[in-house]
Amino acid sequence: QKEVEQDPGPLSVPEGAIVSLNCTYSNSAFQYFMWYRQYSRKGPELLMYTYSSGNKEDGRFTAQVDKSSKYISLFIRDSQPSDSATYLCAMAKAAGNKLTFGGGTRVLVKP
Amino acid sequence: DGGITQSPKYLFRKEGQNVTLSCEQNLNHDAMYWYRQDPGQGLRLIYYSQIVNDFQKGDIAEGYSVSREKKESFPLTVTSAQKNPTAFYLCASSQTDPGNTIYFGEGSWLTVV
């Protein structure tokens, strides 16, 4: 079993809909949680960064972490075609900065 | 502009040849990393370095080698011992404080024929 599980998709939504993404993990030592967006043939870019449990909002993006359930989520409101990309969750333990990634979810936002 | 520069963007090599991928950063980050990404897959850690002249193996280090002679540079050599070298290679860097975010370069596509 992988340490971090993420549905590969594709997840197809109409423009303006809410995109809901999630990852589950098995290692309770993870303390830092990140979401990256990756366009085709490009390097990942950091979207959201959260420490421990709780919610964080940045514009149209909301990240949630539930450590008791080992479950993290990313919500994208008012989705745009430009949001079409692969979204990767990543997490790290308290020290060392080694990231463990989920496999990524491909999202398609249709005009 | 500050950032991470990887070169070349695309590289073709014959089977059995070693190839070196370049990674340079001007972010003054202490830590640097190499990840491999296969189509439809997440990122897997090959090697990482938290300080000059020191580096550690990641999860899939076999068939790869690195050096860290300068803070700004972390080249990756894909050797002939790597059984399936065709992949997208990503270099990244960060500060070493716990939880500091990692930033990625644009990647290098290696195809072995």
Could you report the per-residue pLDDT of B12-45, keeping only the tens digit for each? 988 889 999 999 999 999 999 999 999 777 899 9
- Contact state of A49 with B31 under an 8 Å Cβ cutoff: no
Could you report the per-residue pLDDT of B77-107, keeping only the tens digit for each? 999 888 889 999 999 998 877 666 788 999 9
User: d(Cα A60, Cα A91) in Å, to the nearest integer?
Assistant: 22
What angle (nearest 5°) sits at the alpha carbon of residue A98, between those of residues A36 and A19?
20
CB contact B104 to A (< 8 Å) = yes
Q: Residue A82 pLDDT > 80, yes or no?
A: yes
> Considering only CB atoms, which chain A residues are within 8 Å of B99?
31-32, 51, 92, 94, 97
Specify the residue for token string 């190499």. Answer: B34
Confidence of residue B2 (pLDDT cuts 50, 70, 90): low
Query: What is the per-residue pLDDT for A94?
Result: 67
Closest CA to A40 of B86, B79, B109, B56: B109
Neighbours of A103 (CB within 10 A): 21
Structure tokens at A109: 């936002």
CB contact B28 to A (< 8 Å) = no
- Contact state of B42 with A42 under an 8 Å Cβ cutoff: no
Alpha carbon of A86 to those of A26, A39, B13: distances in Å? 22, 6, 28
> Considering only CB atoms, which chain A residues are within 8 Å of B88?
41
Pick A42's closest partner by Cβ from B4, B101, B107: B107
CB contact B58 to A (< 8 Å) = yes
Query: What is the per-residue pLDDT for B83?
Result: 85
- Contact state of B42 with A4 under an 8 Å Cβ cutoff: yes
pLDDT mean across residues, chain B: 91
